[in-house]
Amino acid sequence: MDPLMLGRRLRASRIASGFDDPDYFAQFLGVRPQMYRRAEAGTAKGADLLSLLIMVGEITNRSLDFLVRGREWHSQR
């Protein structure tokens, strides 16, 4: 996982969902703005980041796979 690319995907997903202000988006998610800004900067880690990714995925309709790896998971059946 490339933290900087993850941050770029978070930012792009936020903006594509109509949230131009990262601090407002953080408040909407119920997290501290500093935490969200660290995630977009690629410096957030641990359980806080995982919880944040789950919330962002739900709000922006993005999968965790997309947010973390930049691609959707597809079964190899």
Name which of 38, 31, 48 is nearest 10 in CA terms: 38
Q: In CATH, what number is assigned to the domain containing residue 44?
A: 1.10.260.40
Asked if residue 23 lies in contact with residue 31, where contact means CB atoms within 8 angstroms, the answer is: no
The answer to whether residue 36 sits within a structural domain is yes
Q: What is the SS3 assignment for 21?
A: coil
Q: Which domain holds residue 14?
A: 3-69
The answer to whether residue 76 sits within a structural domain is no
pLDDT averages per 10-residue partition of the chain, 77 residues: 92 96 96 96 91 95 92 63
**Spatial CB neighbours of 13, under 8 Å, sequence gap ≥ 6:** 56, 60, 62, 67
If one counts the domains in the chain, the total is 1
The answer to whether residue 32 sits within a structural domain is yes
The answer to whether residue 53 sits within a structural domain is yes
Residue 45 is predicted with a pLDDT of 87
pTM of the model: 0.87
Q: Where are the beta strands (DSSP E) in 1-77?
A: none
